[in-house]
Amino acid sequence: MRQIDHLLEVPVDHAHPSGPTLTLYAREVVEPGGEDRPFLVFLQGGPGSESPRPNAHTGHAWITRALRDFRVLLLDQRGTGRSTPVGGYDEIPGDDVAAKAAYLTHFRADAIVRDCELLREHLGVERWSLLGQSFGGFTSTSYLCLAPESLLSVHMTGGLPPVGVSPDEVYAATFDRMVELSLRHHHRWPDDRDRLRRALDAARAGRVRLPGGVTLSPERILTIGSKLGMDGGSEQIHHLLELDPTSPAFAHDVASGVPFTPRNPIYTFLHESSCSDGHPTRWAAERVRPAAYDEDDGLFTGEHLFRWHFEQVPGLEQYAGLADELAEHPWPRLYSEAALRRADVPVAAAVYHDDPFVLREYSLATADLLPRAEPWITNEWLHSGLRVSGEGVLDRLIGLAGEA
């Protein structure tokens, strides 16, 4: 395959195009003879993660499938990868926490859509297609609202978002799904309740230490439940809990299995904003955490952010003030029901039946708004279906969109 780098300066604030700019990077991937094929823009999950790097050995067989019909454009969304990154607190523009938070309000899905539109014009492309994974599906839905005339087709994998729903309702529902998946895990692995309790007791005693000597808290151990949203995740948790919680093996494996680390800072302080369609978030997950979690220490949490993350996770403490500031921000709406009803674009969406991150109930309600949506409900995969299915998930979506 041939790879071509594209770099473009875009405004930080698209409402003020003559103001400060940042660099946008995208990698074009094309196979020999495919130079005249339409573009498929990949919008990565997250928020705050760069696009995958093409590699036949790292679970991105979907790229091989895509190249049979498209040129693939792997976008590093603003703030990630080779685009101008969001770095440590001191590197974020602004003289104080309020100014830095104001800068970061320009890193949501609507800004990414406008970046894409500038890139499309820069490349001289009239229309192109999208593939949105998870948060990338949220961005694709915003695209359908803001610039549907630029789209040939849209493919989504675990990414049809709730529309017009408050963050409180979204996170309450994701907790319910995590309770269901936790109980299912313990039914499958009955001894894991005792093993988890042993790990929590060791953590309460200060005996579980991560590499580098940081003490791991009980509540952070429970966040390994985010694995339950991924294919093979229940097995990973089971094998982790088989280990002695005070062992180096447990420490290293749990460190690589918990969400919300300094590696992708946008994923922490802007995470809840991605579920805000016109509401301040105000630490929604923390506020709606069910009482059942106080009564049963066998319940895992998932993609739920808490204030304590910014106290307990080394490297995140610098962003604590920013997170508080952004939690009170009156986020504007990302979607318009009326615009979605007018979007005359084929939309093929994989809706994962047991997905605890993007719930099928909300996805199907949003699909009902789109006049040309083809939702495919499947329990064959979880949230990582695009990556682990080889070519399978994308091939099915391309067929549903009428492109094969």
Q: Show pLDDT as tens, one digit a residue, over the chain (404 residues).
A: 899 999 999 999 999 999 999 999 999 999 999 999 999 999 999 999 999 998 766 658 999 999 999 999 999 999 999 999 999 999 999 999 999 999 999 999 999 999 999 999 999 999 999 999 999 999 999 999 999 999 999 999 999 999 999 999 999 999 999 999 999 999 999 999 999 999 999 999 999 998 888 899 999 999 999 999 999 999 999 999 999 999 999 999 999 889 999 999 999 999 999 999 999 999 999 999 999 999 999 999 999 999 999 999 999 999 999 999 999 999 999 999 999 999 999 999 999 999 999 999 999 999 999 999 999 999 999 999 999 999 999 999 999 998 76
Instruction: Note the pLDDT of residue 93.
Output: 97
Rounded CA-CA distance 16/106 in Å is 11
Rounded CA-CA distance 348/365 in Å is 14
Total residues found in the chain within this entry: 404
Give the residue carrying structure tokens 């593939």. Answer: 131
Cβ(253)–Cβ(243) below 8 Å: yes
**Which pairing describes strands 373-378 and 347-352: parallel, antiparallel, or unpaired?**
parallel
What the block records as the tokens of 171 is: 């996170």
Among positive and negative, which fits the CA dihedral 137, 68, 23, 261? positive
**Which pairing describes strands 151-157 and 347-352: parallel, antiparallel, or unpaired?**
parallel
Give the residue carrying structure tokens 């309702």. Answer: 169
Closest CA to 205 of 223, 184, 221: 221
Question: pTM of the predicted model, to two decimals?
Answer: 0.96
CA 63 to chain centre: 19
Rounded CA-CA distance 171/189 in Å is 26
* Letter string b/e over residues 163-202, b meaning 16 or more CB atoms within 10 A of that residue's CB: bbbbbbebbbbbbebbbebbeebbeebeebbebbeebbeb
The SS3 assignment for 24 reads strand
C-alpha distances out from residue 343 to 191, 337, 347, Å: 50, 10, 10
Cβ(118)–Cβ(143) below 8 Å: no
The SS3 assignment for 292 reads helix
Helices 233-241, 192-204: inter-axial angle, 10-degree rounding: 60
HSE toward the beta carbon, residue 73, CA cutoff 13 A: 22
Instruction: Note the pLDDT of residue 41.
Output: 98
Distance between start and end Cα atoms, the chain: 21
The SS3 assignment for 28 reads strand
Torsion angles phi and psi, residue 61, rounded to 5: -65, -20
Q: Which helix (H) or strand (E) holds 151?
A: strand 151-157
Rounded CA-CA distance 360/212 in Å is 40
Q: Which helix (H) or strand (E) holds 98?
A: helix 97-104
Q: For residue 238, what is the DSSP state?
A: H
CA 32 to chain centre: 32
- Give the number of other CB atoms < 10 A from CB of residue 13: 16
Give the residue carrying structure tokens 């949501």. Answer: 108
The side-by-side arrangement of strands in the sheet containing 347-352 is: 2-11, 21-30, 71-76, 39-43, 128-133, 151-157, 347-352, 373-378
Instruction: Note the pLDDT of residue 106.
Output: 98
Instruction: Note the pLDDT of residue 1.
Output: 84
Q: Name the residue type at position 64.
A: T
Domains assigned to the chain: 2-164+333-400 (3.40.50.1820), 167-327 (no CATH)
C-alpha distances out from residue 177 to 160, 271, 293, Å: 17, 19, 13
Cβ(192)–Cβ(185) below 8 Å: yes
Helix/strand number for the chain, H first, E second: 18, 8
Among positive and negative, which fits the CA dihedral 240, 234, 44, 60? positive
